[in-house]
Amino acid sequence: MRNDICQSCGMPMAAAEHFGTNGDKSPNEDFCCFCFQNGKYTDDFSFDEFVKDSLQYHDEAEKLDGRTLTLDEVSLKTTVKLPGLKRWQSHQFTHLEYYKSVNKAVDYINDNLSRVINLSDLARVTGISDFHFHRIFKAVMNESPGDYIQRLRLEKAAFKLHTTRFSLADIAEQTGYQSPQALSKAFKKRYGITPSAYRIQPDDLTVGINSPVENLFLEPEITQIASKEVFYLRVGNPYKQSDAFLKSWDKLIGIVGVSGIPDRDHEYLLLSRDISTITSPQNCRIYTCINAESAIKPKGRLGRQTIEGGLYAVFTYRGAYKYMDKVYCNIYRYWIPKSEYELRDNMSFCKFLNSPVLVTESELLTEIYIPVSKI
């Protein structure tokens, strides 16, 4: 499978004429024609020289908090991006340290959305100065810390408006707003309508169906589970790259040092903190996870977080992963509307009970955990 971007400069390669050339003049689908010709790079820059050279192509239309990015900020963003490309993968240390810091901040934000979160709090958690942390977070996440927190709070408010009977005052308190009026103002600015109008607007989470899709009748076991610690890697571009999940699993299994097959000692989980009907696909927080009883310390992209305990509806599905969207459709639009339960917050996870290496697609077993509360 060819790359969509040049593995040297990161620019898109949308057509064959953008490809570089090998020594025999054949197309090279890894590198663009500006970076790679006749089997050689068109420059002999070091990593630092390449970052410096790229500054001359700085797009002044790129903004941060309403202002044009400085050259220092562009340099930092490039330093974070390049080690993810084949040419520069040997320059991983600084890159991974940045991700380690941002992981700590994101985990703190996830756990404290209902509280006041200051930039100084996040800098303290990561051990970085306020100014430097702000720049690193923006470079890694493509959002400033303030924008990221605001977006998560409003998406959580939207979720609660469609799935609970909480008052606007309760939702404001649960999402870190000082008053219903403050939430309403921010919500209308983002979504274009008031929270009350949004609440009555039809949505995939609120419009039930009379019969399950493709006769997938699934009845859950309602069970209370304890919190569990897991190692995680965030899945990059899960809806854009067909092999995003496979790559994430391969990396996670390699780092943790397990066999890749569920056993008595390791659980293999896929965690989602968002609902795709509310959060845009590129922002969905989806993680491959393995239980964290090992003594391994989080580093680089590898993080450690808690899957919250509580009441869950646990569905057991036998069949191919490619049909999981239909399974979730049945859960959200068929089972929940007819049940005595409502969704609790917006974090669900899957537990894989066997491996596609050992069984056929039709024999794959997956437990799906949906957080619920009794109506």
List own/partner pairs for 191-196 with CB under 8 A and 24 or more apart: 191/154, 191/158, 195/157, 195/161, 195/168, 195/171, 196/168
Asked if 228 and 280 sit in the same domain, the reply is yes
Asked if 219 and 308 sit in the same domain, the reply is yes
Report yes or no on 340 lying in a domain.
Answer: yes
Report yes or no on 36 lying in a domain.
Answer: no
Lowest mean pLDDT among 16-20, 166-170, 238-242, 306-310: 238-242
Report yes or no on 3 lying in a domain.
Answer: no
User: For 263-315, what is the HEC assignment?
Assistant: CCCCCEEEEECCCCCCCCHHHCCEEEEEECCCCCCCCCCCEEEEECCEEEEEE
Asked if 191 and 322 sit in the same domain, the reply is no
Tokens 């570089």 correspond to what residue?
A: 20
Asked if 154 and 236 sit in the same domain, the reply is no
Domain of 359, CATH number, reads: 3.20.80.10
Q: What distance, in Å, lies between the first and last C-alpha atoms of the chain? A: 48
Q: Which residues pair with 27 in a beta bridge?
A: 21
Segment holding 31, helix H or strand E: strand 27-32
∠ CA 82-85-87, rounded to 5°: 95
Domain of 183, CATH number, reads: 1.10.10.60
Number of neighbouring beta carbons within 10 Å of residue 339? 16
Lowest mean pLDDT among 55-59, 300-304, 321-325: 55-59
* Domain count across the chain: 2
Owning domain of residue 185:
147-199
Q: What is the pLDDT of residues 266-297, one digit of tens each?
A: 899 999 998 888 898 888 899 999 987 777 78
Q: What is the pLDDT of residues 24-51, one digit of tens each?
A: 999 999 999 999 999 999 988 877 788 8
Asked if 178 and 156 sit in the same domain, the reply is yes
Q: pTM score, two decimals?
A: 0.73
Report yes or no on 287 lying in a domain.
Answer: yes
Asked if 356 and 317 sit in the same domain, the reply is yes
From residue 149, give the alpha-carbon distance in Å to each of 63, 106, 122, 155, 211: 18, 9, 11, 10, 38
- For residue 1, pLDDT over 70 is answered with no
Looking at residue 133, its pLDDT comes to: 86
Asked if 167 and 239 sit in the same domain, the reply is no
Average pLDDT, integer, range 202-230: 86
* CA–CA distance, 105 with 143 (Å, rounded to integer): 13
